[in-house]
Structure 1
């Protein structure tokens, strides 16, 4: 792949770190803070990140499993999060080559429609099943997730940015 000038060459992603970050995001979503409509979905954010950066390691199957786990935890309609996460992962994998050419703030703007679509899928399934509309504040969650994209990018790419053998004579 052709790199932009000044872009740092990254080390390969450790599969253990990828799965660890997904499990930590799921545990953070499971904290008993109360599920408010504007609260960002950290599992969705982490799934999109790894689907963009490592599409061969994290795919639609992993998104489905994490979606089922979130459905069971939140006692929602079984498949609600699973469908939203699989659609989110599919579209993230679809745009991953184009998305990586942009800067991180531009990436955040471009993943915003993905997060809106994911929350719209969850909301549609909830309303079809007879649930109540949570309010207009549900539209804040995708915006907060897009604002968290640069923070997540810095945190999750940090282990790949360190030099394998630091030396003052080699810039890599």
Structure 2
């Protein structure tokens, strides 16, 4: 596990860039509604792995590009990521004490919290909030978490090792 080893900031940025591209790839309408939040999963992974170098402030900064790309209210995603990252930092010891498959159950509330903050801000700013499928990315992200975390950890071990 690379949780206690320093990884290069370049690796973190590269992983974030790849996950941002995956987030922006066009998908058909039905698949697009359930697209896993690759960028958010990557931010939460690095927050859990490197909390001293990549904490809630870095997570907030990572939300700004999503706001710019989606045209959402400024810092909507930043605030949601910072709150979710704070929860991950506080529960990271518990998170890494479980196998990856069980971590998905612990990450589901984090992804739901992220989506709830977006839901709340959209409602406060008068955007449409009646879509039930807006919660699907949280579920698909939790299901995909074990695979995504395994992949990112192997990439980081390759760089550190």
TM-score by length of 2: 0.86
How far apart in 1 are the matches of 2:55 and 2:3?
23
> Which residue of 15, 21, 32 maps to 1:21?
15
How far apart in 2 are the matches of 1:146 and 1:102?
14
How far apart in 2 are the matches of 1:79 and 1:87?
12
**Displacement of 1:10 after TM fit?**
8.5
**Displacement of 1:111 after TM fit?**
0.8
What 5-or-longer segments of structure 2 have no aligned partner?
none
Contact kept in structure 2, 1:37 and 1:135, CA below 8 Å: no
For the pair shown, the structure with the greater C-alpha radius of gyration is: 1
> Which residue of 120, 124, 148 maps to 2:116?
120
How far apart in 2 are the matches of 1:84 and 1:8?
26
> Which one has a larger percent helix, Structure 1 or Structure 2?
2
RMSD: 2.4
Residue 74 of structure 2 corresponds to: 78
TM-score by length of 1: 0.81
Structure 1 residues 9 and 30: CA distance shift in structure 2, 3 A: closer
Structure 1 residues 112 and 82: CA distance shift in structure 2, 3 A: same
Residue 48 of structure 1 corresponds to: 44
How far apart in 2 are the matches of 1:56 and 1:11?
11
How far apart in 2 are the matches of 1:143 and 1:49?
16
Residue 62 of structure 2 corresponds to: 66
> SS in structure 1 opposite 2:59?
helix
Q: Which stretch of the first structure deviates more once superposed, 53-62 or 109-118?
A: 53-62
Q: Which stretch of the first structure deviates more once superposed, 33-42 or 85-94?
A: 33-42
Residue 107 of structure 2 corresponds to: 111
**Displacement of 1:65 after TM fit?**
1.4
Give a deviation string over 1:112-156, Cα, whole Å, max 9, x none: 000001001001100111111251112211110011111112211
Residue 148 of structure 1 corresponds to: 144
Q: 2:133 aligned with 1:137, yes or no?
A: yes
Contact kept in structure 2, 1:52 and 1:93, CA below 8 Å: yes
How many residues are aligned here? 158
Contact kept in structure 2, 1:18 and 1:50, CA below 8 Å: yes
